[in-house]
Amino acid sequence: MTSPARQLRGKDERAPVALSDRAMDNLRFIRETMERSASFTHVSGIGGVAMGLVAVAAAWAASRTTSDGAWLSIWLGAAGASFALSAFLMGRKSRAEGVALLSGPGRRFAWSMTPALAAGGVLTAALARGGHFGLLPGTWLLLYGASIVTGGSHSVRPVPVMGMAFMLAGVAALASPPAWGDAYMAAAFGGLHVVFGLLIWRKHGG
């Protein structure tokens, strides 16, 4: 609908406004196309390898504990250390390429991962409270994989493929005896991170 102020203007004055709108629309189109097309390429290959090594160490330590509380603390500590390491190394890779980590694609990557990770946090609390520690490894692998698949849809191809591998590992862990939990965690959080980390490092930089 035409605004009253606009109706008062003469015909000659309306055209430049429309032209300006069109120019702004063109600039908006360019910016949106650039943002949509940009992949999040700052997933750190070195970060993946580092996370894998942390997971292998945690699996070794967790397999030696006898209390569920200590077992859970080790894995939560490993998750925190991995997150911090990964964020630091992604930030370093972004800075090296002169791009803000949380620019358009990076922000979409982070937001896309959040729902599945948040669901994992809630399920961890619920399962631990009910004493179902044996279900935790499969749940973590499945939801971490889901978060990587969704986040990875804005990133380079090895990332969502890694997410799917994690999801398959999660399904296998949930279908296996609970005692195999640490082995699955070492194989997936350790092995998959190292393998895909090296692949990303080689193809898309550290």
The binding site for another protein (CB under 8 A) comprises 12-13, 15-20, 22-24, 26-27, 29-30, 33-34, 36-39
**Minimum distance between the CB of residue 38 and another protein, rounded to whole angstroms?**
5
**Minimum distance between the CB of residue 19 and another protein, rounded to whole angstroms?**
6
Q: b/e for 146-179, b at 16 or more Cβ within 10 A? A: bbbbbbbebbbebbbebbebbbebbebbbeeeee
**Minimum distance between the CB of residue 39 and another protein, rounded to whole angstroms?**
7
Long-range Cβ pairs for the range 144-147 (8 Å, 24+): 144/116, 144/117, 144/120, 144/170, 144/189, 145/169, 145/170, 146/116, 147/112, 147/113, 147/114, 147/115, 147/116, 147/117, 147/120
Rounded Cα distance between 136 and 68, Å, is: 11
**Minimum distance between the CB of residue 18 and another protein, rounded to whole angstroms?**
8
| Sign of the Cα pseudo-torsion (65, 69, 71, 74, in order) | negative
Residue number, 33 or 114, with CB nearest to another protein: 33
Residue number, 22 or 95, with CB nearest to another protein: 22
> Two tokens at 25?
């629309």
Rounded Cα distance between 71 and 127, Å, is: 14
**Minimum distance between the CB of residue 195 and another protein, rounded to whole angstroms?**
21
Residue number, 17 or 126, with CB nearest to another protein: 17
Rounded Cα distance between 47 and 82, Å, is: 8
**Minimum distance between the CB of residue 10 and another protein, rounded to whole angstroms?**
9
Residue number, 25 or 64, with CB nearest to another protein: 25
Residue number, 27 or 76, with CB nearest to another protein: 27
Residue with tokens 């490894």: 137
Residue number, 41 or 124, with CB nearest to another protein: 41
